[in-house]
Amino acid sequence: MSAAGETGMARIEALAAGFSERMAHGAMVLYAGMNLPSPRAAALLGLPLGAMPAMGQGAVREQPGVQDIVELENVAEQAACRVFQGGWAEVRLQSGTLANLAVYAAACRPGDLIAITPRRAGGHVSHQERGAPSILGLRTVELPFLDAQQCLDDAASAALIRRERPRLVMLGASYVPRAFDFPAIAQAAREAGALLAYDIAHVAGLVAGGAFPNPLAAGADLLTASTYKSLAGPPGGLIVGRADAAPWQARVREAVFPRMTANYDAARVAALGVSLLECERHAAGYARAMLSNARALAAALRERGLPVLPTQTHHLAIPLADADARSHELARAGIVCGAISVAGQHAPRALRLGTQLLTRRGFETADMAQVADLLARALSGDAPADALRAEVAAFMQRRATLAYC
């Protein structure tokens, strides 16, 4: 190999190791879209399970000798059905966005209309016309939103669905401070012949642990989700449908193969299966701890003068005029979070925090005062970023192993 090749390989290895070490041990990660799988699940990710394709549906595969892959898919799907109280599941997609795209492909034709959570209220890019819907030429309409309650307006959204008759209603968002009831939306979707899907990407771990209402029980036909975030699995996508939404199963399966995938990374499905089986044992305690830590952190931040919005989940939002810039400043101090649009606040953007990874690292409510102190000091700008970064790293290294595994 050339010297340039060796240098490049060494650089890749150093970048990968440095980033992994920083995110897993050194930084205080409050970013709401990150988590870590258990060591047992992570160990499966390095196996070459995707080196041999296993293309097809169910037991019928185009390649011979892949029954082990078929069986591990079945185990993962059955675990997903138990965890999310569904009748069927699809586990092969590589991201939550692809899970959403598969639902669009199953339900819609080019030019169809889908109804979504507004972008200004934290609606996810994979729901918006500029995102995944554009691949299929879909149009979007935003559902009415109640700024004061930080949730969709059920009655007004139902009226819009009856008027506009979308082909798909996609609920869910990237900022989820509370659950909301949607009986009128569900009824209107049925009357309009629309598929009702709910993207639980950020709250999947809470749903699994019984700390957030399961939308399937409230009338959604199917769920989509990212499999990391609060679920604490490997990066990937998941679709779970109600048993009485079985006709959609074949259409979703066909969208996944042959329309969207041929071969896929079966190692990720193996890791997901382990993560879902771990959920059956630990999800309830993990979900309760995420919520307890969020309440304690919110109270501690308010004590330090930060305008934290009310929350009933593990998501916190701090509206700031320069939220995006402040998130980059925090990263220089070793505190990783993001910014999100929030509706009806004094600032249209907010720092978005999530307690899922701190909780996964084993931090408890008694630790949240120090988390708030470090965050408040970093936002004040009174302490040099380098000095704070060292403090943050020392604090995070108090927990060396993952909890709820």
Give percent above pLDDT 90 in the chain.
94
383 pLDDT above the threshold of 90: no
Residue 245 is predicted with a pLDDT of: 77
18 pLDDT above the threshold of 80: yes
**Tens digit of pLDDT for each residue in 165-183?**
999 999 999 999 999 999 9
Residue 15 is predicted with a pLDDT of: 93
Q: Yes or no: say if 290 and 314 are a contact pair by the CB < 8 Å rule.
A: yes
Q: Yes or no: say if 200 and 207 are a contact pair by the CB < 8 Å rule.
A: yes
Residue 1 is predicted with a pLDDT of: 79
194 pLDDT above the threshold of 80: yes
Residue 172, CA distances (Å) to 52, 124, 203, 330, 394 in order: 36, 8, 9, 28, 36
The whole-number average pLDDT for the span 202-216 is: 98
The whole-number average pLDDT for the span 194-211 is: 98
Cα 200 to Cα 288: distance, rounded to the nearest angstrom? 17
Cα 96 to Cα 224: distance, rounded to the nearest angstrom? 7
Cα 103 to Cα 138: distance, rounded to the nearest angstrom? 12
Residue 5 is predicted with a pLDDT of: 86
The whole-number average pLDDT for the span 231-236 is: 98
The whole-number average pLDDT for the span 22-51 is: 95
Residue 87, CA distances (Å) to 216, 222, 241, 283, 383 in order: 10, 10, 6, 20, 53
Structure tokens at 154: 């059920």
**Tens digit of pLDDT for each residue in 366-375?**
999 999 999 9
Chain-wide mean pLDDT for the chain?
96
Give percent above pLDDT 70 in the chain.
100
**Tens digit of pLDDT for each residue in 128-163?**
999 999 999 999 999 999 999 999 999 999 999 999
- 350: confidence class by pLDDT, cuts 50, 70, 90: very high
The whole-number average pLDDT for the span 340-358 is: 96
The whole-number average pLDDT for the span 89-113 is: 97
* Ordered strands of the 168-171 beta sheet: 88-90, 237-241, 222-226, 195-199, 168-171, 113-116, 139-142
Residue 68, CA distances (Å) to 53, 64, 266, 268, 288 in order: 12, 11, 10, 14, 36
Structure tokens at 266: 């079966």
- Determine which helix (DSSP H) or strand (DSSP E) holds 142, and give its type and residue range: strand 139-142
Distance of CA 4 to the CA centre of its chain: 38
Largest distance between two CA atoms of the chain: 66
Residue of 145, 122, 124 lying closest to 133 (CA atoms): 124
Cα 214 to Cα 235: distance, rounded to the nearest angstrom? 22
**Tens digit of pLDDT for each residue in 287-335?**
999 999 999 999 999 999 999 999 999 999 999 999 999 999 999 999 9
Residue-wise over 268-297: b if at least 16 C-beta within 10 A, else e?
bbbbbbbbbbbbeebbeebbebbbbbbbbb
Residue 147 is predicted with a pLDDT of: 95
The single residue listed with the structure tokens 């490049």 is 8
Cα 298 to Cα 292: distance, rounded to the nearest angstrom? 10
- 83: confidence class by pLDDT, cuts 50, 70, 90: very high
Residue 385 is predicted with a pLDDT of: 87
Of 14-23, 32-41, 88-97, which range is least confident?
Answer: 14-23
Strand 237-241, strand 88-90: pairing: antiparallel
Between 24 and 245, whose confidence is greater? 24
**Tens digit of pLDDT for each residue in 258-277?**
999 999 999 999 999 999 99
Residue of 362, 297, 328 lying closest to 38 (CA atoms): 362
